[in-house]
Amino acid sequence: MSAAGLVFEEKGYEGAAINEIIEVAGTTKGGFYFHFPEGRRELAAAILDSTLTMDGLQPQALKLQEVVDTGAILAYRITQEASLRAALRLSLHKNARDTYGTPWPKWVAINTTQLTEAQQRGEVRAGVSPSDQAYQIAGAWSGLVLVSEAVDGHFRNVEERVAQMYRNLLGSIAHPATLPEIDFSADRGCRLYTAFLDREKPSPPSNIA
């Protein structure tokens, strides 16, 4: 899947040849189809399922902080993981929904739930539609990441730009008393995800004499 991520990132879904993925992975055709009998479609679905996750997200005192953290973590990870960059491109393919699925409805649903709870707690202004805002966040995040790469030729500025995006979007919907309490730091996603990886590390074996 890591090899496929490299190929999908470079060539997209239509341009990614199974033979090239097999060559990059250093495996055999039999080995490939043993794991992915349905070929490229099943492989693309597996990459989306394994990368576009909520890993690293932790409960926060403010639900709006969780909204920010969801996108901040993925912004950090996209600077580190070719498979996640490939997953983003795969998720926006015009036939993704009918070919191998797309995670965007799930992300919109998660943000909608977060924003609804935030509104119930008084963190979000009355009259704001959580579902509408969730769609705006998903569209703004994905578009910003792709435009940032197109303009810069790299992803090194993505975290800072995503942090500013959340400042702008939440500035128009958050209760004035809530906004100063939200951490929009550009390195927040890095800190949260690094802490998650540290927690996931297996404990060293005990030295029993």
- pLDDT-derived band of residue 207, with 50, 70 and 90 as boundaries? low
Question: Has residue 25 got a pLDDT over 90?
Answer: no
Q: Which CATH number fits domain 2-200: 1.10.357.10, 1.10.10.60, 3.40.50.2000, 3.10.150.10?
A: 1.10.357.10
The whole-angstrom separation of Cα 124 and Cα 118 is 6
The whole-angstrom separation of Cα 91 and Cα 108 is 13
Question: Has residue 209 got a pLDDT over 50?
Answer: no
The 10s digit of each residue's pLDDT in 121-160 is: 999 999 999 999 999 999 999 999 999 999 999 999 999 9
| The two structure tokens encoding residue 8 | 């999908």
Question: Has residue 105 got a pLDDT over 70?
Answer: yes
Nearest alpha-carbon partner for 179 in 171, 169, 190: 171
What pTM did the predictor assign?
0.84
Grouping H, G, I as helix, E, B as strand and the rest as coil, residue 174 is strand
The 10s digit of each residue's pLDDT in 29-56 is: 888 888 888 888 888 888 888 777 888 9
Place of tokens 């040849």: 17
Per-residue model confidence (pLDDT) at position 95: 82
Cβ atoms of residues 160 and 152 within 8 Å: no
**Domain range list for the chain:** 2-200
Question: Span 106-124, mean pLDDT?
Answer: 95
Tell which wins on pLDDT, 16 or 80: 80
Q: Bin 123: left if φ > 0, else alpha if -120 < ψ < 50, else beta.
A: alpha
Per-residue model confidence (pLDDT) at position 51: 72
Tell which wins on pLDDT, 208 or 166: 166
